[in-house]
Structure 1
Amino acid sequence: MTLVDSITVSEAGGLTFLDIENDLASAKISLFGGHVLSYIPKSDNQERLWLSPHAYLNGERPIRGGIPVCWPWFSDDHGKEKGELPSHGFLRTQTWKIVSTEETGEATHIVLAPSFTRAEGFEYDCEVTLSVTVGASLTVTLATKNTGVVPFEYNCALHTYFQVDHIQKTALTGIAGQYKDKTQNWAVKETPSPYTFHQETDRIHLAAIAETYIEVEGNDFTQVSSQGNDSLVVWNPWQGAASISDMDAFGYKHMVCVESAITGGKTLAPQAEHTLIQRVSPK
């Protein structure tokens, strides 16, 4: 396939990467996992995505950081014992193929598809595509179409790791309502205000929250827009990062996950399609 001029291909550690450079932004995508690794808008030349310095970039494990694609289940919600099936599904550990590329004066567009969508734990006929648009904003669209003759249910997420200067100087705005707290045996609680970080945070916010802002030292830094989601997941492992093999013990200080997600189950009838969209915009 002939790629547009704003995309170049590089290889390292046995993996293939797409490097995007246009007038408005630069970005990097790993075909392993269909995984966006970097997004730097030229409006301020500041990286928006966090990538662990200890991430496995050799295909041995899912990549820690950037935007992992979780599908067709979230976390270990696959109906079997924990560890029996891969956490967050099986798309983030396979090599994706390039379906198409396009560029305009405003953005570079890339469409990717996984090698397969049927595996243990999900044996239905469907098509999945990941569309990435790199411009003044970064837009990632995960589309699922039921190509079979029976309905199926699935969950998914764009598990985005955002770069922040320091987690204790970071706040989220735009989130309200109840959430389930994994750190407290899934207790249901009300969203705090102000939304700041002082300990391990692992929350599923139980609403289709459309707009969230990541503030750094009281100033809007990044806008996170979501469409097609039924929930928003916020995660920071805090000192638990020390027990994560592909994460620096102090890496938690410089990241926060804000994930556009479907965690309550989405049912697709035959020939129906659903898209989960996350847009990352500098503020």
Structure 2
Amino acid sequence: MSIAKSITVNESAGITFLEVDNAYATGKISLYGGHVLSFIPKSDQKERLWLSPHAYLNGERPIRGGIPICWPWFSDDHGKEKGTLPSHGFLRSQVWQLQQSEDLDDATRILLTPSFSRGDGFEYDCQVTLELLVGATLEVTLHTKNTGVIPFVFNTALHTYFEVPDIGNTSLTGIHGNYKDKTDNWAVKATPMPYTISGETDRIHLTAIPEVIINDSDTPLTSVSSSGHDSVVVWNPWQGAASISDMDAFGFKHMLCVETAFTQGCEVAPGDTHSITQIISPA
């Protein structure tokens, strides 16, 4: 298989990394987890993704930061006792394979597949493909095809960690409707206006919001567009970051997760494919 000229393949600590450098952006992808680690548009040279300086980049555990792939369940919503199955599913802790790459006129296109998509907690026949377009924008699409003879239901998320200059000056626009607040026993609440972050935040917004803007003070910084989803998740651990072993105690000041998600059950009929997409671009 030939590899696109814009891609350099490197290995470190047993993990293979794809480094993309084209006319529009640079990016870095780990084949462990099928995990995007970096996206820097050349239009403004600003890193859009936050990666923990203490992230495990040796395959010992899922990577903290970038864009983890949650599949086939979100959080611990797998129907079994908490802790019996891995949080956020089993795709983010396995090695993925590069199936195809090519240089297009306006982006580098990459197709990745996991080692397996059938496992404890999800025993259905399906094919999962991660499609990446690295250009002036970063387009991330997770395709789930039902290759079996019966329908199945799953949940998923593109659990993106965004780099922000200062969480105290960060706000979100575009979010509306109600959300479920995990920090308050899943109470249903109305979206705050203005939407700022001033403490531990773990919210599932139960609306297919098409675009969220991350603002630095009053200046739009990053646009997050979504499709194929039913929810948007907003997360920042705040001072709880100190209890997360692969996160700096003050790391919460420079990150905010805005996740394109399907949390209310996506049913896929035999032969059908569901695709969830997040597009990240300068605002």
TM-score normalised according to structure 2 size = 1.00
* 1:269 positional shift: 0.8
Task: Give the structure 2 partner of residue 92 of structure 1.
Answer: 92
Give 1:2 deviation, angstroms. Answer: 1.3
Task: Give 3-state SS (helix, strand or coil) of 2:241's partner.
Answer: helix
1:196-241 CA-to-partner distances (Å, cap 9, x unmatched) read: 0100000000100000000001100000000000000000000000
Identity %: 66
What RMSD, in angstroms, separates the aligned Cα atoms of the two structures?
A: 0.4
Deviation (angstroms), 1:105: 2.3
Task: Map 1:102-181 to 2 at 5 A.
Answer: 102-181=102-181
Q: Give distance in 1, aligned partners of 2:104 and 2:180.
A: 42
2:255 maps to 255
Q: Quick one: distance in 1 between partners of 2:215 and 2:13?
A: 35
Runs of 4+ in 1 over 3 A off after TM superposition: none
Instruction: Give 1:104 shift.
Output: 1.7
Partner of residue 206, structure 1: 206
Name the SS for the 1:111 alignment partner: strand
Alignment of 1:218-229 (within 5 A): 218-229=218-229
User: Which amino acid counterpart does residue 110 of structure 1 have in structure 2?
Assistant: I
Give aligned pairs, total: 283
Secondary structure at the aligned position of 2:140 is classed as strand
* Alignment correspondent of 1:182: 182
Residue type of the alignment partner of 2:42:
K
Local SS of the residue matching 1:192 = coil
Cα distance in 2 for partners of 1:228, 1:159 equals: 15
Which position in structure 2 is the counterpart of 1:81?
81
SS at match of 1:240: helix
Q: Match for residue 230 of structure 1?
A: 230
Alignment partners' CA distance in 2, 1:4 and 1:263: 35
Structure 1 residues without counterparts, runs of 5 or longer: none
Give the distance between the partners of 2:178 and 2:66, measured in 1 at CA: 27
Q: Distance in 2 between matches of 1:195 and 1:99?
A: 40
2:31 alignment counterpart: 31
Residue type of the partner of 1:143? H
For 1:36, the aligned partner's letter is V
Distance 2:191 2:267 in 1: 28
Q: Aligned equivalents of 1:127 and 1:8: distance in 2?
A: 27
Q: TM-score, normalised by structure 1?
A: 1.00
- Listed one character per residue, the Cα deviations across residues 118-161 of structure 1 (whole Å, up to 9, x for unaligned) are 00000000000000100000000000000000110000000000
